[in-house]
A and B are shown apart, each in its own frame.
Chain A
């Protein structure tokens, strides 16, 4: 209980109180303008757009990662030759520090001297370089691609671990009964693994909502505000503009949004656990 109070309740109350105050980084709680920060947010198109953009990112991107990651896990599970070293290699993106991931992709996507533009120009697919990080929709897609590259291995490894726990006798019995691989996948594997896969998806959605480092390193929220997601906007307000009161209000609104979006996933997870197998 003490731990919960120290690590969860106190920070929440602090952020909540800050959100109703005029606070700078150095001088918190200067005034209590009550709802001024929330009223300012209601008028703030930039923050609203950042929330929408976050949802556009945080829902489809984890779904793509789930699809790719689970497919890789199935391949590894099906006694693929060299699966051992492949498991090691695919973990590399996950183990790379996020700012290094951003730096690597920035070098790949740079319009002058970038690897991708260079290849496309040399092969004649382009006659002039594309500014992948400076124009839309490329900038948003680039962040998504880098995120998928970084996090798909996470999904793959967890899914692979889940597949290892699949009861072999059930699968064997289905095979003996003449079930095809696709039938086994849809009617045995996925139903049994659903609670685990939904837990992985939930985890990824929550992490994707908090996207910050790739945006910071790749686009700095640009071009314009086109890749400014909520976490990046909160950071800017707090640590570039030093308006801690407003940043706290943004954090509260953002937390409510994340809760609302992930609530159905949580219910689905509970339902699948209750009805698994």
Chain B
């Protein structure tokens, strides 16, 4: 996920950084996914790449490099990140068939596959792709649904805890190791500096899975919980699930006001302008926090793993968001579209985008996560991302996931609204999930 949308500055990063990114992507054009083989000649072919708004800069990098490598023309079309399935479905159903390649959220993979909106690429992957090169935690969740493979991992998203070293230092505080310490830290800072417009933390609480859901998932991981058991049965009425919701409610009074109104657009500028001591956010923030164009906290921040809670002592991150590229069922040229999918998800392109500010792209390969270039570009984040992506919690992504996740986000909002207790909200979520999963 990207800083661009969060900052509400879609244009400010594009020109200079895109040119810088394009230079890097130009180098990628010579590599691509074709190895020693020549790139296919796609002169005269036009492909439309649909990307979510936070991926516009990255999408343009892919498009430009692919054009150089193959001679094809690539149009990058941005859509809001909560309208991916809607846009693709309407495109295919209407017969407009504008999109060739789709930037899909892995949580909707089951819905895309079930509705036949993307193309089964099981055979193509078996012949051409080494799945073991991707981060193992991403491979199946990002590509597998209904027993078939549908795309390739493009953006490996997870949250880590960023903190403002100056604000914590001012109060003699250390980065929190536990959710209790996190609460105490937020409380200390807010009570002392609220009058100056500085708050202890930012908690994304807007009623969308991408926002309030991420905040909950971070706590669920910290308390050692999970969404589903090994048999796919929901676990949201467990003690740790309820404790996770309680932890959100506890910190809400000390968070940037007000959590229910806070999405990326409000929260991130608050953190980057030094008005918040902590924020749970995607790893690509680390690349952007050093950028003077958008950040007032250069060299005043650091990053750590998500806290732990309850009896759990093992740090674990959640795969919050995360995207793949797939061929749209409406593509008139699926072979060329597949070339673009492979190209956009190639290790060289992944690395090139990871180190370019504003792309919103995080590692999907072991090789790129551990690369020297990434370590050099984002040393603090690289270490945190490496730990976070190791055994991270996967969100439900079956055919019913859209409804499950929206209903869950609704219940969490009711907790923050104090309309429901955490226990009641999580039990209601559990009942809804059980019903939707046919239990």
A-side interface residues toward B, CB under 8 Å? 24-27, 46, 110-113, 129, 131, 133-135, 220-226, 236, 239-243
Of the residues A113, A221, A242, contact of B85 by C-beta under 8 Å:
A242
Q: Do A242 and B402 touch across chains, with their CB atoms under 8 A apart?
A: yes
The proximity string for B residues 80-121 relative to A, scoring 1 for CB distances below 8 Å and 0 otherwise, is 001101100110110000000000000000011011110000
User: Which stretch of B53-61, B125-133, B339-347, B411-419 is in the interface?
Assistant: B411-419
Q: Do B257 and A129 touch across chains, with their CB atoms under 8 A apart?
A: yes
Q: Do B115 and A25 touch across chains, with their CB atoms under 8 A apart?
A: yes
A241 closest partner in B (C-beta): B403
Q: Do A242 and B403 touch across chains, with their CB atoms under 8 A apart?
A: yes
With most chain A CB atoms within 10 A of its CB, the pick from B208, B266, B275 is: B266
Please measure, in the bound complex, the distance between the C-alpha atom of A134 and the C-alpha atom of B207, giving whole angstroms: 11
Q: Do A242 and B111 touch across chains, with their CB atoms under 8 A apart?
A: yes
| Chain A neighbourhood of B266, CB < 8 A | 110, 112
Query: A21 to nearest B CB, angstroms?
Result: 15
Q: Do A134 and B111 touch across chains, with their CB atoms under 8 A apart?
A: no
Please measure, in the bound complex, the distance between the C-alpha atom of A220 and the C-alpha atom of B82, giving whole angstroms: 13
Q: Do A111 and B207 touch across chains, with their CB atoms under 8 A apart?
A: no
| Chain B neighbourhood of A220, CB < 8 A | 206-208
Please give 6 more A-B residue pairs, beta carbons under 8 A apart, in addition to A26-B117, A113-B197, A223-B417. A24-B111, A224-B414, A224-B419, A226-B417, A240-B82, A241-B407
The answer to whether the Cβ of B261 comes within 8 Å of any Cβ in the partner chain is: yes
Of the residues B112, B257, B406, contact of A111 by C-beta under 8 Å:
B257
Given contacts A129-B257, A133-B261, contact A25 B403 (CB under 8 A): no
Closest 4 A/B residue pairs (Cβ): A26-B115, A224-B417, A134-B258, A241-B403
Given contacts A134-B261, A239-B83, contact A225 B410 (CB under 8 A): yes
Query: B192 to nearest A CB, angstroms?
Result: 15
Please measure, in the bound complex, the distance between the C-alpha atom of A224 and the C-alpha atom of B261, giving whole angstroms: 11
B116 closest partner in A (C-beta): A26
| Chain B neighbourhood of A225, CB < 8 A | 410, 413-414, 419
Instruction: Return 15 A-B CB contacts under 8 Å, by A number.
Output: A24-B114, A25-B86, A26-B111, A26-B112, A26-B115, A27-B114, A27-B115, A131-B261, A134-B260, A224-B413, A224-B414, A224-B417, A240-B406, A241-B406, A242-B402
| Chain A neighbourhood of B83, CB < 8 A | 239
Query: A155 to nearest B CB, angstroms?
Result: 30
Query: B293 to nearest A CB, angstroms?
Result: 20
The answer to whether the Cβ of B270 comes within 8 Å of any Cβ in the partner chain is: yes
| Chain A neighbourhood of B89, CB < 8 A | 25-26, 242
Query: B139 to nearest A CB, angstroms?
Result: 25
- Using a CB-CB cutoff of 8 Å, which residues 392-439 of chain B contact chain A? 402-403, 406-407, 410, 413-414, 416-417, 419
Q: Do A222 and B85 touch across chains, with their CB atoms under 8 A apart?
A: no
| Chain B neighbourhood of A111, CB < 8 A | 257-258, 261
Please measure, in the bound complex, the distance between the C-alpha atom of A131 and the C-alpha atom of B416, giving whole angstroms: 13
Query: B272 to nearest A CB, angstroms?
Result: 14
The answer to whether the Cβ of B18 comes within 8 Å of any Cβ in the partner chain is: no
A111 closest partner in B (C-beta): B257
A246 closest partner in B (C-beta): B403
The answer to whether the Cβ of B163 comes within 8 Å of any Cβ in the partner chain is: no
Given contacts A25-B89, A134-B257, A243-B403, contact A223 B413 (CB under 8 A): yes
| Chain B neighbourhood of A221, CB < 8 A | 207
The answer to whether the Cβ of B301 comes within 8 Å of any Cβ in the partner chain is: no
Given contacts A224-B417, A240-B402, contact A27 B116 (CB under 8 A): yes
| Chain A neighbourhood of B111, CB < 8 A | 24, 26, 242
Q: Do B207 and A222 touch across chains, with their CB atoms under 8 A apart?
A: yes
B258 closest partner in A (C-beta): A134
Query: B194 to nearest A CB, angstroms?
Result: 8
Please measure, in the bound complex, the distance between the C-alpha atom of A133 and the C-alpha atom of B410, giving whole angstroms: 17
Q: Do A25 and B85 touch across chains, with their CB atoms under 8 A apart?
A: yes
Query: B415 to nearest A CB, angstroms?
Result: 9
Please measure, in the bound complex, the distance between the C-alpha atom of A277 and the C-alpha atom of B227, giving whole angstroms: 68
- Using a CB-CB cutoff of 8 Å, which residues 249-308 of chain B contact chain A? 256-258, 260-261, 266, 270, 275
Of the residues A26, A113, A131, A236, contact of B93 by C-beta under 8 Å:
A26
| Chain B neighbourhood of A242, CB < 8 A | 85-86, 89, 111, 402-403
| Chain B neighbourhood of A129, CB < 8 A | 257
Please measure, in the bound complex, the distance between the C-alpha atom of A26 and the C-alpha atom of B206, giving whole angstroms: 27
Given contacts A111-B257, A224-B417, A226-B417, contact A236 B115 (CB under 8 A): no
B329 closest partner in A (C-beta): A26
| Chain B neighbourhood of A27, CB < 8 A | 114-116
Query: A248 to nearest B CB, angstroms?
Result: 15
Please measure, in the bound complex, the distance between the C-alpha atom of A183 and the C-alpha atom of B406, giving whole angstroms: 57
Q: Do B406 and A223 touch across chains, with their CB atoms under 8 A apart?
A: no
Please measure, in the bound complex, the distance between the C-alpha atom of A243 and the C-alpha atom of B413, giving whole angstroms: 21
B261 closest partner in A (C-beta): A134
Given contacts A25-B89, A26-B93, contact A222 B260 (CB under 8 A): yes
Please measure, in the bound complex, the distance between the C-alpha atom of A26 and the C-alpha atom of B90, giving whole angstroms: 8
| Chain A neighbourhood of B410, CB < 8 A | 46, 225
Q: Do A131 and B406 touch across chains, with their CB atoms under 8 A apart?
A: no
Please measure, in the bound complex, the distance between the C-alpha atom of A236 and the C-alpha atom of B208, giving whole angstroms: 11
B407 closest partner in A (C-beta): A241
A117 closest partner in B (C-beta): B257
Please measure, in the bound complex, the distance between the C-alpha atom of A239 and the C-alpha atom of B89, giving whole angstroms: 10
Query: A229 to nearest B CB, angstroms?
Result: 15
| Chain A neighbourhood of B197, CB < 8 A | 112-113
Query: A148 to nearest B CB, angstroms?
Result: 21
B206 closest partner in A (C-beta): A220
Query: B186 to nearest A CB, angstroms?
Result: 15
Please measure, in the bound complex, the distance between the C-alpha atom of A112 and the C-alpha atom of B117, giving whole angstroms: 42
Please measure, in the bound complex, the distance between the C-alpha atom of A113 and the C-alpha atom of B269, giving whole angstroms: 12
B197 closest partner in A (C-beta): A112
Please measure, in the bound complex, the distance between the C-alpha atom of A17 and the C-alpha atom of B355, giving whole angstroms: 51
| Chain A neighbourhood of B256, CB < 8 A | 112
Please measure, in the bound complex, the distance between the C-alpha atom of A222 and the C-alpha atom of B207, giving whole angstroms: 8
